[in-house]
Amino acid sequence: MSETIETTEPVQSPPPPEGPASPWGIRDFKLLWLGRMVAVLGIQIQSSALLWQVYEIARRDHPIEQASLYLGLVGLCQFLPLLAFTLPAGAMADRRDRKHTVTISVFVESMCALAFLMMALHGDPPLWGLLIVAAVFGAARAFLAPASQAFLPMVVGRRALPPAIAAQSIAFQTGAIAGPALGGVIVGLSVPFAYATSLAMFFIGIACLLLIRTSGRPKLTGERISAVAQVREGLGYVWKTKIVLGAISLDLIVVLLAGVALLTPIFARDILHVGAVGFGLLRASFGVGALLMAVYLSRFPIVKHGGRWMFMAVAVFGLCTLTFGLSKSVWLSGLVLFVGGAADMISVNIRQTLIQLATPDHMRGRVSSVSMLFIGASNELGEAYSGVAVRFLGPIGAAVFGGVGALASVGVWARLFPDLRKADRLT
C-alpha cells in the first residue's frame, strides 16, 4: 500500500508489539484519551473566546468585511509558527522522548491561556497582544502534534491502532462539541471566565500525561544523521508514498477552500442574527456529527474500499459547505454542519489509518509532522484565506465558492492519485 525509499539509517526499527485488540484495556491509553479530550475542550473554549473577542473589538471601528480580516489574522498568526517549526518538531519526535514533548507543549498552551486571561481581565486588550499570544500557541501546537501522533502506537501497539485512532477521534470530537457549545455560553457571560476554564482544562491534561507510565523514547536506528537530513528523509518518504501524499494534500485543499470555522461568528452575528449562543450552536453542530460518526467507526471501522469512501465523504463535505453558505435558517445551517462533520470524520479516520499503518515507527514523527503541517495549513491558513475571501466575495460568496471548489477538488485528486482512489483494505 506504500512505496519504500532508501534511508541513511542502516537498521529499521522493529514494529511495535501487536498488543491487545482493544485499546480500552490499556491503562495508559485511557489516561492519554482523557488528557486529549480535556486539552481539546480547553483549546475549543479558548478559540471561541478569542474569535468572539477579536471580532467584537474589530467591529467597533470597521464594517463586516474589514473586521473579518482580523479574524483571518488570528489564523495566520497561528499558522506561521506551524510552518516554521512543524518539520523540525517531527524530526525531534524521532529523536527525543515523545511523551515529554507532548507534556511540555501542553504546559506552554496553558501559559498562553493564562496570558489571554490576564489580558481579558484588563478589559480592553490590544489586538496585537492577542495575536502575539496566538502565535506562541501555534508554536506549541507545532511540537505537540507530531509527538502525540507518534506516541499513540507506542501506547497501544499495532492490533489496537485502528480502533485507538477512532477512539482518539471521539476524544477530540467530545471536546470539539462541548468546547464551542460551552464556550459560546461562557463567552456570552464572561470572556475572562472562558479563558480561566481553558486554563483549568490544560492543567487536567498535564496531570493525565504525567501519570502515563509508557516510555515515549523512540527506538533509535543505526548511525545518527543530522536533523536536516531527517527532515529531508521524511519529506521524501511522503512524496514517494503517493497514497499518503494524496490523502493529506486533499485534506489541505478542501479544508483551505471549504472550512467554515472562521465564518461561523460572522454568520451568527450579522447574517443569521443569533448571537453568542447561536454561535456556540453552529460551532457545536459540526462536532456532534463528527462525534457520532467517530463512535460508529470505533465499533464498525471501515476496512474495505477506503479510497472510495474517502472521496465520497469529501464530496459530501463540500456540498454541505455550499448549502451552509446559501442557508438563511440557523437550523438548516446547523443540520448541514452536522452532516459535514460526520463526512469529515470518515475522511479523517481513513487518512490517519493510512498514514499510521503505512509508516515505520522510526519515521512516524517526521511523517506525522508533514501531515500536521498540511492540516495546520488547511486550518490556520484556511482562516486567513477565508478572511480575504470574505473581504472580496462577502461571507455568503466565500462559503459558496469554497463548497464548489471542494467538489471540483474531488474530481481533480481522483485523477491525480488513482492509487488513493483504488485503495481498498485498511488493515
**CA distance linking residue 384 with residue 138, whole number of Å:** 14
| pLDDT above 60: residue 85 | yes
First to last CA, the chain: 10
Selected residue with higher pLDDT from 352 and 154: 154
63 burial (CB, 10 Å; 0-12 / 13-18 / 19+) is: exposed
pLDDT at position 112:
94
Q: Tell me: the pLDDT tens digits for 399-418? A: 888 889 889 988 899 888 88
pLDDT of residue 11: 35
pLDDT number for residue 132: 92
Provide the pLDDT confidence category of residue 199 given band limits of 50, 70 and 90: very high
Where is average pLDDT lowest: 41-45, 70-74, 290-294?
70-74
In this predicted structure, the answer to whether residue 361 has a pLDDT above a threshold of 80 is no
**CA–CA separation, 113 vs 120, rounded Å?**
10
pLDDT in tens, 294-318: 788 877 777 777 778 888 998 999 9
Rounded Cα gap, residues 350 and 342, in angstroms: 13
Q: pLDDT averaged over the chain?
A: 79
CA distance 298 to 286: 18
Q: Give the pLDDT confidence score for residue 129 in this predicted structure.
A: 87
Confidence of residue 426 (pLDDT cuts 50, 70, 90): low
CA gap 318, 405 in Å, rounded: 8
Question: How does residue 7 score in pLDDT terms, banded at 50, 70 and 90?
Answer: very low
Q: How confident is the model at residue 344 (pLDDT cuts 50, 70, 90)?
A: confident
Q: Amino acid identity of 279?
A: F
Q: Say what the pLDDT of residue 222 is.
A: 55
pLDDT category of residue 330 using cuts at 50, 70 and 90: confident
pLDDT at position 16 is: 46
Domains of the chain, start order:
23-213+223-422 (1.20.1250.20)
Q: What is the mean pLDDT of residues 29-47?
A: 89
Question: What residue spans of 190-274 are helical by DSSP H?
Answer: 191-210, 227-240, 242-258, 263-266
Helix extents (H) in 94-126: 98-122
pLDDT at 13: 39
pLDDT recorded at residue 56: 79
Report the distance separating Cα 359 and Cα 15, nearest Å: 10
How confident is the model at residue 287, as a pLDDT? 74
How far, rounded to the nearest angstrom, does the alpha carbon of residue 218 sit from its chain's CA centroid? 24
In this predicted structure, the answer to whether residue 108 has a pLDDT above a threshold of 90 is: yes
Q: pLDDT per residue over 157-179, tens digit each?
A: 777 777 787 788 777 767 766 77
User: Any idea which of 64-78, 147-161, 407-421 has the lowest mean pLDDT?
Assistant: 64-78
Please tell me the predicted confidence (pLDDT) of residue 4: 35
Residue 339 has what pLDDT? 92
* pLDDT at 427 exceeding the cut of 70: no
Q: Pick the closest to residue 141 from 102, 192, 95, 93 (CA basis).
A: 102
